[in-house]
């Protein structure tokens, strides 16, 4: 920018409005930002949200453990961005799911930093491969919504590095065009004012793009500008006044921030010339459906599933079967399609006897009970709406509503084959009813195509293969992070690295469902573990056998840790297609750089030393194969 006054330079540090950058004298390309990350939430010219494809949530995407699908998800989204003239999509979110109650967990990937980082990496890589910029968010320690604008995450250095920064470190390798700094404070310092966190991002993670503040996150603009917040979003008059009158803005910071915003605008301008949407709307919906089919997790099955008798009566009960359930807040997409109800989807897949048997207004639970007595199975659809799981608040309980639990108990008394379908974005406490029902399907927030995929799983056209990427505890009080000290200003991460399965598996504490868990209609066995050391990595090779009469997909996981402390961490995974009655060899390659811990005294990563065990299994608590190595 030639001959910019200091005022213009300061002005450039903040957006033009809610969704684009300021352009002095119209000389700079004006880029368009839009939410993300689970569908496009683009504001049209009159400010209304334009309808778009609603994709399965990030939770459902992560349940696929399939990086090919992650890339296809991002490519479909990129095409949506191209169609709507969007340059940068505000996603992916890779914040760690520290608390199962966090209102935005459905937008995040996992409680595990490796998995969160790897999914983030592939999402960014594919989105940007189609010339749409990504925005990696929310950097960092934005792990709860309660008091999110001010809360300080009090976290020790080793935990910060190994758990909370790790996903960003991994995802940054895909060179995101932008990173969004989070609302909260870390160890007392507002993230957008935190020079050290910005330095780690730039110097250690090699981030070379533009740092954008979360919306209205900047309270002291000159401090944020000086620390490396390149673009304050959105435009806000009061904040701009503060900026213009500030006397402590560092010239070099201003120059640097301007350089980053200009570089981003130029990158977007060039990218626009390269963009071409490739997938038809139908193809994008097919991708959404395929991801949902792969993301659904079969949590329990007494053998009623797959449901074979397509013509028999199959009553369906519960609001969630009739209404589109999704999380609320900035990621809430306005779906394009009229919602296909569960009985419609089942009928389209051939289940002629499937029907919605319950109507809230006429209160016909009694009729349902009558039907349940004679039906072969009953479907009960339950879950959380966008009011329950949403931005700016956390859930107070993991339980369903009293009414929903009552329907389940009542119908389960009449019929041993109650199939519960759960539409939600984060763990549900099922402990009061799980033993009474025949089957549980986790449909999650599945987007537009959710019920088509659920119907295919129920009828066995799709063999379930999704596995959980977070622990489902038996009770909220079992979660260490939930029990640590919290004040209005601070939350103490005193559980340290004992987040999710890192606590439950280490302590052998019972859970409802462990991290990595999910059933299939096939049966798999693991055998013949070998570990081959290469220069930079280990190849972990084993065989998976499918002894059933169905082709299936199995997600195998590798955990490495010390047998003395029993502290094990996910270090790799693979998803293998195994045809019925056959074996397939599986290989997981672990880069040696992953076999390190952060040494606080030396302020550096240190390779493992001593005796370690490699464990391969179906989930973190179901280990089939083990081998030791001394490092």
From CA 238, how far away is CA 302, in angstroms rounded?
Answer: 60
**35 lines the binding site for ligand BGC (CB under 6 A):** yes
Known catalytic residues are 214
Closest contact distance (angstroms) between CB of 286 and ligand BGC is 27
**Residue 90 Cβ, how far from ligand BGC at the closest point, in Å?**
4
Instruction: Name the residue with the smallest CB distance to ligand BGC.
Output: 330
The least distance separating ligand BGC from the CB of residue 260, rounded to whole angstroms, comes to 18
Q: In this structure, are residues 39 and 54 in contact, taking their beta carbons and an 8 Å threshold?
A: yes
Query: Which residue has 């297609």 as its token pair?
Result: 577
Is 437 within 8 Å of 395 (Cβ atoms)? Answer: no
Q: Dihedral, CA atoms, 260, 264, 270, 271, nearest 10 degrees?
A: 140
Minimum distance from CB of 26 to ligand BGC (Å)? 25
Q: Which of 90, 346, 459, 555 binds ligand BGC (CB under 6 A)?
A: 90
DSSP letter string over 339-404?
A: PPPHHHHHHHTT-TTEEE---TTTT-HHHHHHHHHHSS-EEEEEE--TTTSBTT---S-SS--HHH
Tokens representing 110 are 């996992």
Where on the phi/psi map is residue 496: left (φ > 0), alpha (ψ -120 to 50), or beta? left
Work out which of 121, 205, 207, 215 binds ligand BGC, going by CB under 6 A: 215
* Interatomic CA distance for residues 604 and 154, integer angstroms: 21
Q: How far apart are the first and last CA of the chain?
A: 54
Nearer to ligand BGC, 137 or 300 (CB): 137
Task: Kindly identify the residues of this chain, within the stretch 457-476, that bind ligand BGC according to CB under 6 A.
Answer: none
Secondary element (H or E) of residue 105:
none
Question: Do residues 596 and 612 lie in contact, with contact meaning Cβ atoms separated by under 8 Å?
Answer: no
Please tell me whether residue 527 adopts helix, strand or coil conformation.
Answer: strand
Q: Does 147 participate in binding ligand BGC (rule CB under 6 A)?
A: no
Question: Is there binding between residue 333 and ligand BGC (CB under 6 A)?
Answer: no
Binding of ligand BGC by 31 (CB under 6 A): no
Q: Is 456 in the site for ligand BGC (CB under 6 A)?
A: no
Determine how many CB atoms are found less than 10 A away from the CB of residue 431: 14
Instruction: Compute the half-sphere exposure of residue 302: CA atoms within 13 Å on the CB side of its CA.
Output: 13
> Closest approach of Cβ 330 to ligand BGC, in Å?
3
Q: Which is nearer to ligand BGC, 286 or 330 (CB)?
A: 330
The answer to whether residue 332 forms part of the interface with ligand BGC (CB under 6 A) is no
CB of 33 to ligand BGC, least distance (A): 8
Nearer to ligand BGC by C-beta: 128 or 159? 128
DSSP 335: B
**Alpha carbon distance 134, 92 (integer Å):** 7
Q: Residues 98, 137, 452, 467: which binds ligand BGC (CB under 6 A)?
A: 137
CB closer to ligand BGC, 215 vs 517 = 215
Locate 437 and state its tokens.
């029902």
Q: How far is the CB of 214 from ligand BGC (least distance, A)?
A: 5
What are the CA-CA distances from residue 147 to residues 192, 322, 394, 480, 554 (Å)? 16, 34, 10, 20, 40
Q: 297 and 338 in contact (C-beta within 8 Å)?
A: no
Under the binding rule (CB under 6 A), the answer on residue 494 touching ligand BGC is no
Residue 214 binds to ligand BGC (criterion: CB under 6 A): yes
Q: How far is the CB of 34 from ligand BGC (least distance, A)?
A: 9
Q: Compute how many residues bind ligand BGC; rule: CB under 6 A.
A: 7
- Could you count the other beta carbons within 10 Å of the beta carbon of residue 401? 15
| CA atoms of 61 and 453, how far apart (whole Å) | 13
Nearer to ligand BGC among residue 201 and residue 381 (C-beta): 201
Task: Measure the CA–CA gap between 506 and 566, rounded to whole angstroms.
Answer: 5
Write down how long the chain is: 631
330 belongs to the binding site for ligand BGC (CB under 6 A) = yes
Nearer to ligand BGC, 331 or 520 (CB): 331
Residues at the interface with ligand BGC (CB under 6 A): 35, 90, 137, 214-215, 330, 391
């Amino acid at each position: 920018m030639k001959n910019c006054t200091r005022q213009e330079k300061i002005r450039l540090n903040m957006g033009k409005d809610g969704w684009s950058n300021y352009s002095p004298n119209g000389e700079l390309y004006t880029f368009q930002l839009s939410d993300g990350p689970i569908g496009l939430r683009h504001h049209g010219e009159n400010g209304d949200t334009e309808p778009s494809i609603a994709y399965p949530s990030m939770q459902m995407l992560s349940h696929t453990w399939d990086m090919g699908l992650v890339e296809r998800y991002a490519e479909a989204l990129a095409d949506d961005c191209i169609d709507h003239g969007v340059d940068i999509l505000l996603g992916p979110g890779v914040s760690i799911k520290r608390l199962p109650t966090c209102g935005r967990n459905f937008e995040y990937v996992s409680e595990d930093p490796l998995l969160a980082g790897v999914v983030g990496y592939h999402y960014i890589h594919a989105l940007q491969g189609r010339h749409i910029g990504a925005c990696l968010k929310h950097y960092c320690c934005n792990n709860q919504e309660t008091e999110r604008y001010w809360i300080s995450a009090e976290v020790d250095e080793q935990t910060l590095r190994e758990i909370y920064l790790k996903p960003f470190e991994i995802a940054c390798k895909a060179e995101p065009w932008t990173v969004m700094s989070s609302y909260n404070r870390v160890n007392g310092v507002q993230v957008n004012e935190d020079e050290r966190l910005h330095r780690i991002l730039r110097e250690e993670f090699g981030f070379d793009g533009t740092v954008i503040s979360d919306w209205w996150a900047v309270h002291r603009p000159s401090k944020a500008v000086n620390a490396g917040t390149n673009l304050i979003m959105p435009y806000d008059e009061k904040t701009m006044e503060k900026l213009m009158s500030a006397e402590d803005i560092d010239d070099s910071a201003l120059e640097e921030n301007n350089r980053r915003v200009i570089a981003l605008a130029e990158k977007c301008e060039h990218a626009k010339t390269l963009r071409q949407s490739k997938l038809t709307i139908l193809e994008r919906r097919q991708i959404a459906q395929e991801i949902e089919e792969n993301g659904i997790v079969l949590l329990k099955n007494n053998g009623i599933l797959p449901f074979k008798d397509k013509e028999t009566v199959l009553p369906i009960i519960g609001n969630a079967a009739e209404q589109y359930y999704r999380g609320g807040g900035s990621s809430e997409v306005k779906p394009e399609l009229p919602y296909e109800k569960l009985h419609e989807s089942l009928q389209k897949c051939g289940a002629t006897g499937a029907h919605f048997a319950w109507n809230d207004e006429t209160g016909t639970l009694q009729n349902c009970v009558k039907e349940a007595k004679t039906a072969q199975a009953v479907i009960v659809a339950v879950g959380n709406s966008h009011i329950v799981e949403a931005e700016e608040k956390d859930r107070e309980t993991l339980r369903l509503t009293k009414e929903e639990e009552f329907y389940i108990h009542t119908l389960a008394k009449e019929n041993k084959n109650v199939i519960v379908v759960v539409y939600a974005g984060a763990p549900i406490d099922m402990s009061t009813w799980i033993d009474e029902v025949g089957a549980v399907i986790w449909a999650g927030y599945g987007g537009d195509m959710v019920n088509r995929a659920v119907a295919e799983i129920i009828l066995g056209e799709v063999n379930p293969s999704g596995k959980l990427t977070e622990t489902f505890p038996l009770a909220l009080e079992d979660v260490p992070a939930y029990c640590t000290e919290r004040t209005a200003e601070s939350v103490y991460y005193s559980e340290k690295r004992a987040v999710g399965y890192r606590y439950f598996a280490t302590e052998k504490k019972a859970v409802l469902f462990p991290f990595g868990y999910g059933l299939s209609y096939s049966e798999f066995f693991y055998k013949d573990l070998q570990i081959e050391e290469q220069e930079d990595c280990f190849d972990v090779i084993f065989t998976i056998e499918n002894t059933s009469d169905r082709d299936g997909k199995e997600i195998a996981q590798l955990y490495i840790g010390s047998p003395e402390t029993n502290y094990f961490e996910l270090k790799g995974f693979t998803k293998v297609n195994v045809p019925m009655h056959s074996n397939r060899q599986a290989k997981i390659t672990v880069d040696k750089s992953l076999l390190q811990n952060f040494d606080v005294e030396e302020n550096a990563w240190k390779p493992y030393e001593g005796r370690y065990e490699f464990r391969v299994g179906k989930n973190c608590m179901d280990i089939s194969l083990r081998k030791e190595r001394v490092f």
